[in-house]
Amino acid sequence: MDRPCVMLCTANGVGLGHLSRMMAMARELESRADVVIFTLSQAVAIPVEHGFHTEFVRSPEYGQVSGSEWNAFYARRLSGMIDLYQPSVIVFDGSHPYSGLCKAARDHPDRHWVWCRRGMWREGAGHAAIDRTDSFSLILEPGEYARDYDIGLTSRRREESLEVGPITFGTPSAVIPRAAARAELGLDPDRPAALLQLGAGQINDVASLSGKVMSALRRRDDVQIAVAESILVRDPVALPPDVVRVQRYPLAWYVDAFDLSFMASGYNSFHEALSLRLPTLFIPNLNTKMDDQGARARFADDAGVGLRWSETEEVAIEGAVEQLVDPSEQARMRAAMTQLPAADGAAGAADAIMMWAGL
């Protein structure tokens, strides 16, 4: 008997969140179904390298055609792949379903259409997106540790969605042991290590966010510093000679190499840091269109599982850095993180899809 096929479609996104969630689900589905990942991400090589069957189409953000022309092309391309692969289920992960995708859904009503719709939308954002809910017969909501802090549109429509646990690609079983991870990254095995995952920017400019963190850390000569650089970066930023550049995916596999970290509170990095117990100072990006990173950071601070600082604060960052560097504070946060549920939502999402579609 032929195996069923599930197609996982991702938006482009600024980072790798959409692609990472779909890869996490693909990993759980592949023992029971043929999986095709259809992505707009410039990181298309990643799922290929991880052994997933992958299709790619260029995002409208990088093309020279109008939005309507691109959506018409996307609808044709998606419909062509549906005819080719005959998927029983098509899952879309993105904050705004494209009109081309919605057209393909109308043209193929015999398929099961799923929206993997992450919550934590900024207050007042997403009205146009939420109106496209009717294009899908199942809404999956990846879990949020900060669920109770969600005041966006989706928080008032949870009755129409199926909530699962947080979905991350980095899992505890895949984490590289500390000594091996440090050796691979070129870190001193005996000194505390701090990871900066803020988007390196002007790392040598003390007026920039990364520069402020770097300057505060450099006052502690016992702490070695590593800067995470996205694999999508084409022009690497210049770093001081004593700073280690880390360009790995998934970075979560190397989490045990570090004692503390500084990062924005986007979905993936936030849930990987907390589920893998990495003491972190979350510095939310407050300029996102949809994602309420500020709410996640407030939750982490209130729940004692992390620290929060924002450039809007009147308090200087040096105090937060000193607090995070303290080993006793790190131990307190790790203990608090043990009370969080596992980030095992990919398995729950895969089970729900298979059961709901009768596969």
User: Two tokens at 29?
Assistant: 């589905």
288, 120 Cβ separation under 8 angstroms: no
Q: Which fold has domain 174-337?
A: Rossmann fold (3.40.50)
DSSP string, 170-236: --GGGPPPHHHHHHHHT--TTS-EEEEES--SSTT-TTSHHHHHHHHHTT-TT-EEEEE--TT-SSP
Cα–Cα distance, 159 to 150 (Å, whole number):
15
> pTM of the prediction?
0.94
pLDDT of the residue at 200: 46
Q: Which fold has domain 5-167+343-356?
A: Rossmann fold (3.40.50)
pLDDT of the residue at 207: 56
Cα–Cα distance, 347 to 341 (Å, whole number):
14
17, 41 Cβ separation under 8 angstroms: no
List the one residue out of 128, 14, 9, 17 whose CA is nearest residue 62. Answer: 14
The dihedrals phi and psi of 269, each to the nearest 5 degrees, come to -60, -40
> What stretches in the chain show pLDDT beneath 50?
1, 200-201, 204
Task: Count CA atoms within 13 Å of residue 73 on its CB side.
Answer: 13
pLDDT of the residue at 306: 98
Q: What is the separation of C-alpha 276 from the centre of its chain, rounded to a whole number of angstroms?
A: 14
List the one residue out of 38, 181, 23 whose CA is nearest residue 104. Answer: 38
Q: Are strands 5-10 and 89-93 parallel, antiparallel or unpaired?
A: parallel
Q: Which are the contacts of 26, defined by CB distance < 8 A and separation ≥ 6?
A: 8, 35, 37, 47, 52
How many other CB atoms are there within 10 angstroms of residue 86's CB atom? 13
Q: How far is CA 359 from CA 5, 87, 136, 351, 354, in A?
A: 9, 11, 18, 10, 5
Domain range summary for the chain, segments of one domain joined by +: 5-167+343-356, 174-337
Quick check: do 5-167+343-356 and 174-337 share a fold? yes
